[in-house]
Chain A
Amino acid sequence: MERIPILRMGTFLLITIQVDMHDRLAMQLQDDVTARIAEWGSGGVLIDISSLEIVDSFIGRMLANIAAMSRVLGAETVVVGMQPAVAITLVELGMSLPGVRTALNVEAGMELLYQSRTAMELGLGNEHPEA
């Protein structure tokens, strides 16, 4: 079955979602991410959704789940590149994805992950995601 590829970049995982996912694919991704974090001991997950033109409540919950599960496994998640139309629609839908950190693009997202990783290593505790 087709899967969304998960790339390993040092201690981080990079996931680029480019297809209109059907439900099974989304569930598979959730499973795969948690498996990879455990397998590679990753400290951060970057999800690039700049190609996603639709994020409905199902996908939204998937993103929130990935962030929550990864955190339990010790990894921070950052979602980057949400399109303006998608952001406006999500907000109207009533989803604000609390607990999901966001950044403008991959670069900014990586920076966030490095910062939070450094904070953790310096013993500054689990940085709580800002709204």
Chain B
Amino acid sequence: MLKSKHFELIRTAAVLLISLLLTFIMISFVSGSPLQTIGIFLYEPISSVSHAGNVVEMAIPLMFTGLALSLLFKMNMFNLGAEGIFYFSALVASAAAIHFSLNGFLHPIVAILLGGIVGALISGIPGFLKAKWNANELVTSLMFNSILYGVGQYILNYKLRDASAFQTASFKFEPTAVLDRIIPGTRIHTGLIIVLVCIVAGHYFMYKTKWGYELRMTGANREFAEYSGIKTGRVILYVHLLAGLIAGIGGSVEVLGMYSRFQWNALPGYGMDGALVAMLAKNNPLAVIGSALFLAYIRVGADMMSRYSDVPSELISIIQAVILLLVSADQFLKFWKNRMLLKEAKMNA
């Protein structure tokens, strides 16, 4: 029997079901051959090893930003800086990949660590401002996104740009810096291992350590946490540093795993997508894996759909919006939970 404690799970499933149905309805409206298009959308991502590989490749950056945002959201901080940090750290790692000469083992490690540390330091600024003076972290982090983008474009155009490349792109990375592929037939790279380690560590941190406990307490009620002796300012600072570190590592891993030059001429959007991943996962690090894979699956499906049918892939951002609206809606299906609670109470009485 369905219990009220399973409510969150049921609701998430309901949201996903509704959004998939909506996808089918929209496809039916715009496609000449709806059934075939839906088939492509659902089946193509798992039709071959290389397509399934695409799903995993796409999920890696989403897991990084989803994890980073889970930590922040769990602390009740709506900091959206992961977007800019992901971009900028990728650029820093690219610079290291271009200019350093190290061996194939050390080079990616150094580049990724550098990107991660820069990300942590940048993220620390809004964290510090919030902790010390209560400056609104949403506004400062959004400003930082724009600043990082401007500075990043400057560095790309004036310091790293390869004039002989066909588009605005950096010089090629040293081959020693590029991450190794780990599964034949796909482009899945060692970044997958890194992100899974980060997620498990994040889970352990959040639920098994004193620091994680402080994080959750601060998120539940900052003033209460402060009264019970938790130095919430310090908590806010270290969680920001940690989230920045993860987003920074994510950007670095993405660029070294999937590209041979730095060629982003706009913010890549993974930071904002991370918000959706975190919400779907209910800010639980381990659940980030599933929600990132789901998002990657429907995205690859949409990509395949635009390639093999008459429906453009942008359809998916409409669906993403619907999922985000519903999954973060506290009151959605709440009446159902209330009814279940009532029933259980009666049975126990």
Our verdict on whether A and B bind, yes or no, reads no
Q: Which residues of B contact A (CB under 8 A)?
A: none
